[in-house]
Amino acid sequence: MSKILGIETSCDETAAAVLEGTVRKFGRTEKLERSARQEDGRVRILSNVIASSASLQEKYGGVIPEQAAREQLKSIIPVIKEALEQAKITYNELDAIAVTQGPGLIGSLLIGVETAKTLAWAWDKPLIGINHLVGHFYANWVQEKGEKVGEVEEEGEIPRFPCIGLLVSGGHSDIVLFEDHNKFRYLGGTRDDAAGECFDKSARLLGLPYPGGPLVAKLAAEGDPKAFDLPRPLIGSGDLDFSFSGLKTAVANIVKFGKEEKDWKDQKVKDFCASLEMAIVDCLCKKTIKAAQINNIDQIIVSGGVAANSTLKRELRARFPGKVFVPPPFLCTDNAVMIAASAFYNFNPIEPTALQADPSLSLG
């Protein structure tokens, strides 16, 4: 069993985690049959530490890059120390270090990447740079302390290839086809705003604090999703793309009008949140399931902060006849567990001096 330290600092979080599992040497899995995949197994969480400037975000209505980086500079070493302590290991017992290389805020990425490079050099450990967007998907390969984690239907079951990946976060809404570890094809994505961004900006219009997604979801649970007739942009288009900016404009118009009405009270806000949530969920389900059908694939893996949305999970499962993997909510939003997990399945060390933070990495 190997142990990998993961480090994640792409946005405002400073996160470190230690995971234990079997490393798949880069390229080796190419030769394995698909049926052998199940033997790859899951990786286990030994520790998971996250420091975030949530109170500052709430105060300013979002993340201020400069401020986020300054906070991360203060917390990166204590967070890594805490991750090793919680895992009850010393750095000697680590087999490798994995770090988010991009995409993200450059100031934030640099703190994680430069710290990881320094530690890899000082501790003489292999260093692996991880694409944050790919990393999100690997939350579906994780198990916590030997227990069943998440919403998989059968204990210990992991996704099989090929599978369709839906990434829905604050900055991305992408659909990819995974043929294997480290082998995927971009199928479609948002042409403007991301799904999480639509949740956040709509919440802001409603006067709710940042990040708005979880609050909209909470209010939506007591609302009627059919109460407001909101647009589902591009839902009938022949491609696998999304567009959420038109929905946001519709929200802005309705909220502005609604605030002038006297009956825009508690229940109406709940109904509105439920309608908004269902409009986003309808778009995501339609295109993701279409991607699976076109490619004759029976497994979907979901990831990113919006994957924590229980309506999305419920509706995808209800509408898709195949298997839908969704990580538990604490692994959907940004964390270092997914970064370390990704390294186990995509073990491709790089010289510390050669690794560069890259804010423009994508899935395309």
Contact status: 213 vs ligand KG4 (CB under 6 A): yes
Smaller CB distance to ligand KG4: residue 13 or 20? 13
- The residue range among 72-80, 147-155, 173-181, 209-217 that interacts with ligand KG4, by the rule CB under 6 A, is 209-217
Q: Which of 107, 159, 223, 305 binds ligand KG4 (CB under 6 A)?
A: 305
Smallest gap, in angstroms, from Cβ of residue 90 to ligand KG4? 30
Q: Among residue numbers 145 through 204, which ones bind Zn ion (CB under 5 A)? A: 169
Contact status: 347 vs ligand KG4 (CB under 6 A): no
Smallest gap, in angstroms, from Cβ of residue 334 to Zn ion? 4
Q: Which of 306, 339, 341, 361 binds ligand KG4 (CB under 6 A)?
A: 306
Q: Rounding to the nearest 10 degrees, give the CA dihedral for residues 60, 61, 63, 64.
A: -40
- The residue range among 26-34, 83-91, 266-274, 333-341 that interacts with Zn ion, by the rule CB under 5 A, is 333-341
- The residue range among 22-30, 193-201, 232-240, 346-354 that interacts with ligand KG4, by the rule CB under 6 A, is 193-201
Contact status: 211 vs ligand KG4 (CB under 6 A): yes
Q: Which of 197, 255, 334, 352 binds Zn ion (CB under 5 A)?
A: 334
Contact status: 131 vs ligand KG4 (CB under 6 A): no
Q: Which of 112, 135, 170, 223 binds ligand KG4 (CB under 6 A)?
A: 170
Contact status: 200 vs ligand KG4 (CB under 6 A): yes
| Per-residue buried b or exposed e for 56-80, using 16+ beta carbons within 10 Å of the residue's own CB | ebeeeeebbeeebbebbbebbeebb
Smallest gap, in angstroms, from Cβ of residue 32 to ligand KG4? 30
| Binding residues vs Zn ion (CB under 5 A) | 169, 334
| Binding residues vs ligand KG4 (CB under 6 A) | 11, 169-171, 196, 199-200, 211-214, 217, 304-306, 308-309, 333-334
